[in-house]
Amino acid sequence: MSAEYDTASGTLIGHLHNALSDLAANPFPSVPNPPNCTKRASVALIIRLRPNFSHWPSFPQPNNEENLSASITQQLDNFFSQPWSQHGDPEILFIKRAARSGDRWTSHVALPGGKRDPDDADDRSTAIRETMEEVGIDLNDEHALFVGNLPERIVTTSW
């Protein structure tokens, strides 16, 4: 790999690659609910790398079937080794919650996600379902890569 495409070079893309690789290699432990807390919620941190017009991806892209059988770390390495990705612009998806009278979250800016339903198998399932409901993005799509989970927090409120 040439120095121009070295993701460890201290660039924003290099830092993003390193952070995602570290998250994949070191998952955070699950935090159970306290006995008196029955509610649980999950959010999805969605990062997209928007191509730069002067470094547009070439088509066809590498064989996706072979990539899907690789480890998450290898999939990340494959993605970030593409020359166009070194010049992309990372974007994070935020939503603005609806404005509703009496809603304590009214008009807040947030990551897509929400309350866990009884039918949700786990926190990841909740985030996938809520993201589809709120913004119409299917995180089960072959182009979406689940890298890992962020640290879980027990959040209580007196509202």
H-run or E-run covering 88? none
Question: What is the reported pLDDT for 24?
Answer: 94
* Residue predicted with more confidence, 57 or 64: 57
Q: What tokens appear for 52 in the block?
A: 């730069």
pTM of the model: 0.80
Q: Measure CA 74 to chain center.
A: 17
pLDDT above 70 coverage of the chain, percent:
87
DSSP string covering 50-67: EPPGGGPPPSSPS-HHHH
- Lowest average pLDDT, out of 101-105, 117-121, 129-133, goes to 101-105
Question: What is the reported pLDDT for 65?
Answer: 65
* Residue predicted with more confidence, 104 or 66: 104
| 4 three-state secondary structure | helix
pLDDT in tens, 11-55: 899 999 999 999 999 999 988 888 888 888 899 999 999 999 998
Place 131 in a pLDDT band, splitting at 50, 70 and 90.
very high
- Mean pLDDT for the chain overall: 86
Helix pair angle (72-80, 12-25), 10° resolution: 170
